[in-house]
Amino acid sequence: MKKVGKYEVGRTIGEGTFSKVKFARNMDTGDTVAMKVLARTTILKHRMVNQEISIMKIVRHPNIVRLHEVLAGEMKIYIILEFVTGGELFDKIAQQGKLHENESRKYFQQLIDAVDYCHSKGVYHRDLKPENLLLDSRGNLKVSDFGLSALSQQGVDLLHTTCGTPNYLAPEVLSHQGYDGSAADIWSCGVILYVLMAGFLPFDEIDLPTLYRKINAAEFSYPSWFSADAKSLISRILDPNPKTRIRIEEIKESPLVQKNYVAVEHREEEEVNLDDVNAVFNDIKDQYVSDNEEDNDGRPLLMNAFEMITLSQGLNLSVLFDRRQDYVKRQTRFVSRKPAKSITSTIEMVAKSMGFKVHSRNYKMRLEGVSTNKTGQFVVVLEVFEVAPSLFMVDVRKAAGNTLEYHKFYKNLRSKLEDIIWKPAEATDSPTLTRTPTF
């Protein structure tokens, strides 16, 4: 088991181009956290990470993922984040399709509260989309991923960097003429509200020039089930002219948002301390934390009891067996009673038959392919864990590519691995355990 300072580190729960996110536990308090791990050389080369970390420490709001602290090891940087267990809002939309207006309203109210708070701090997110909106165990929204965010600068009125996800970008961001970060974020919020209520995007073209033309003209239509209040608000948000586009204070006063609106309870905290961030980026060696990893002797990693309990969401062990096959999240899993080497060799054979390039090491596999629209890489990572003697869990997660494409990939992969997937009868109706574990 790897240890970083006071944190016990477990399985990888997310992966990106420059970083991995791991499950971890504070050994002093027992609290669960998410640990974002980056190579020191990468961090020092991309100074934007410094700004991202500083911004995440500045924005402290109930509907924003909290950054607790930053630690430096000799080779790695560790960002300690709030562990949010409810998955992405994107997954909920993928599972249910459109959401009821009341549910959409709740998420939109929380999103607007969070974005309004960010703007009050001079922070513009610039990549708002359902994949970057997480849900906690109570179903409350948490804004995450400030990697493309910007801070307002004194004497500078407009931003100039074109960034974000094309379908959610405001027309002025595409114009390369400079844009107001607040108005651009509001446009993205409008697209998100439409997606919540429709189950699909207002602007969705494979051909980018056509997509950009429709965004610039605000050319979209409303499904029949949209209420008059919803259509009125979205029309004022998706106004291609940022100068006449509705402002956040007006959004909050709109009939759609006012209904059942409860202002979030939030007290301003003491001044944020950035000493740990400065120590990391100024490379103060006497503040390095120890980061030792135990050798696993060529066996699959053993998942400890604490991870099992957290993974099983309130001790309902049925979720380990991924029985809701129609609901495919960005990260999925299945269980097998086959030997670990047999599991990896079967997956490797199937992945190659699907056209993937396979890299395998220590019961961890990386499948590399090209996305269906040929615009970039599609990468999936699989890892085998031992959860009990002769019982293994295969964790599957998207590392790069489109999330909807991953949904299709996983269903296809799973159908080809039926021979190694264990489906015990108890997985369909296993009891929910209520006893609180002790450690």
Could you give the residue numbers annotated as active site? 127
Q: Tell me if 366 sits within 8 A of 385, measured CB to CB.
A: no
Structural tokens at position 398? 């998207």
Dihedral angle sign, alpha carbons of residues 293, 276, 129, 41: negative
d(CA 6, CA 290): 9
Rounded-to-10 torsion of CA 83, 116, 211, 254: 120
Please report the DSSP string for 181-247 in residue order.
Answer: HHHHHHHHHHHHHHHHHHSS-SS--SSHHHHHHHHHTT-----TT--HHHHHHHHHHS-S-TTTSPP
- Only one residue has tokens 């019982």, namely 391
CB-neighbour burial class of residue 283 (10 A; exposed 0-12, middle 13-18, buried 19+)? exposed
Beta strands 76-82 and 67-72 are antiparallel
DSSP string covering 92-152: HHHHHSSPPHHHHHHHHHHHHHHHHHHHHTTEE-S--SGGGEEE-TTS-EEE---TT-EE-
Tokens 């992405």 found at: 88
Judge whether 45 is annotated as a binding position.
Answer: yes
Maximum Cα–Cα distance across the chain: 66
Residue 373 vs residues 53, 208, 337, 369, 398: alpha-carbon distances, Å: 33, 11, 37, 12, 17
Q: How far is CA 415 from CA 24, 30, 92, 204, 319, in A?
A: 32, 39, 23, 29, 18
Beta strands in 27-75 (DSSP E): 32-39, 67-72
Specify whether the CB–CB gap between 351 and 367 falls below 8 A: yes
Q: Which residues are annotated as a binding site for ATP?
A: 45
